[in-house]
Amino acid sequence: MAKLVWGIAGERFYEAGVDRGVLYIADQPGVVWNGLTSVSEIPSGGETKAYYIDGVKYQQVSADEEFVANIEAFTYPDEFAECEGTLQSPHSGLFLTSQPRKSFGLSYRTRIGNDLDGPDHAYKLHLVYNALAESSARQNETLDESPNLTNFSWRVTTLPPPITGYKRTAHFVVDSRSTDPLALTALEEILYGSDALTPRLPDASELFDIFETHSSFVVIDNGDGSFTASGTDFQVHMLDSTTFEINTPAAVFIDATSYTLTSS
């Protein structure tokens, strides 16, 4: 067995910062959230319940947990006004507050640093679904020699969508350190848009599909006439008991019996 070693260079990780906020409202393209300063993740629930027999604890279980967050920003997209209950009237420039609030989706990025690369080592993408915002108190102060910017703040609750095979959750995290580059690129093109794609938030089932259909397929020659392949089962389609085809964007068809793989 290997002996534990502490403090290996490059393995002193930390997380810091938030950037690349994007707001998603149903049937509308995603929009950049400039001025986003903080997303505090505050899970709700998950309390432990203990069970006793004859005064001895014999079981403990966790209650269901919900994703709750607090968002702070110096400004927000115009599209977010409806999410906090502000609606424009038919008359230009006239707005009504305390209106029904729209639900929204959100993506943001947090940075992962280490002792060698600093905060640019890696990052995590956070995807939040079916969120509702509750506005907090806002204090408008007179200007003086040291004016303070108004800090907008919202408490956010979520309605988790159903997920096949897992408990419901409204918060997904994608770690760039372990995500296949093909899947990461495909996901970011959907989240942030491209020349051909409008930015949007993929639903939970599509998120799983992205990881299945855009992952590298690796074949290793074992040197004894046999080969070992790794990848998702989606990528290998058995035609019969001895014949298969590779179904992945990383494979290029050569002829009836050969493929070349762009993955290393």
Query: Under 8 Å CB-to-CB from 157, ≥6 apart: which residues?
Result: 44, 66, 68, 131, 132, 134
Is pLDDT of 58 > 60? yes
Closest listed residue to residue 38, CA positions, set 17, 22, 20, 68: 17
181-228: pLDDT as tens digits: 889 999 999 999 999 999 999 999 999 989 888 876 666 777 776 767
5-52: pLDDT as tens digits: 998 999 999 999 999 999 999 989 999 999 999 999 988 887 888 999
Percent above pLDDT 70 for the chain:
84
- The confidence band for 231, taking pLDDT boundaries of 50, 70 and 90, is low
pLDDT of res. 147: 79
Q: How far apart are CA 126 and CA 18, in angstroms?
A: 10
pLDDT of res. 88: 87
Do 150 and 143 form a contact (C-beta atoms < 8 A)? no
pLDDT of res. 233: 58
pLDDT of res. 260: 52
Is pLDDT of 242 > 80? no
pLDDT of res. 262: 44
pLDDT of res. 224: 78
Q: How far apart are CA 73 and CA 16, in angstroms?
A: 17
Question: Furthest-apart CA pair in the chain: how many Å?
Answer: 80
Mean pLDDT of all residues in 105-133: 95
Closest listed residue to residue 61, CA positions, set 37, 45, 76: 45
Count of H-run helices and E-run strands, the chain: 2, 20
pLDDT of res. 139: 78
**Which is more confident, 211 or 235?**
211
**Which is more confident, 110 or 230?**
110
Every domain of the chain and the residues it spans = 14-46+63-180, 218-261
> Cα separations (Å) of 235 from 68, 159, 221, 253, 255?
36, 33, 18, 14, 18
pLDDT of res. 98: 85
pLDDT of res. 263: 42
145-179: pLDDT as tens digits: 887 888 899 999 999 999 988 999 999 999 999 99
pLDDT of res. 136: 80
pLDDT of res. 41: 92
- The confidence band for 80, taking pLDDT boundaries of 50, 70 and 90, is very high
Q: What is the mean pLDDT of the chain?
A: 86
Q: How far apart are CA 113 and CA 33, in angstroms?
A: 23
pLDDT of res. 53: 93
Q: Is 154 left (phi over 0), alpha (psi -120 to 50) or beta?
A: beta
Tokens of 100: 């029904």
**Buried b / exposed e across 78-93, counting CB within 10 Å, b at 16+?**
ebbbbbbbbeeeeeee
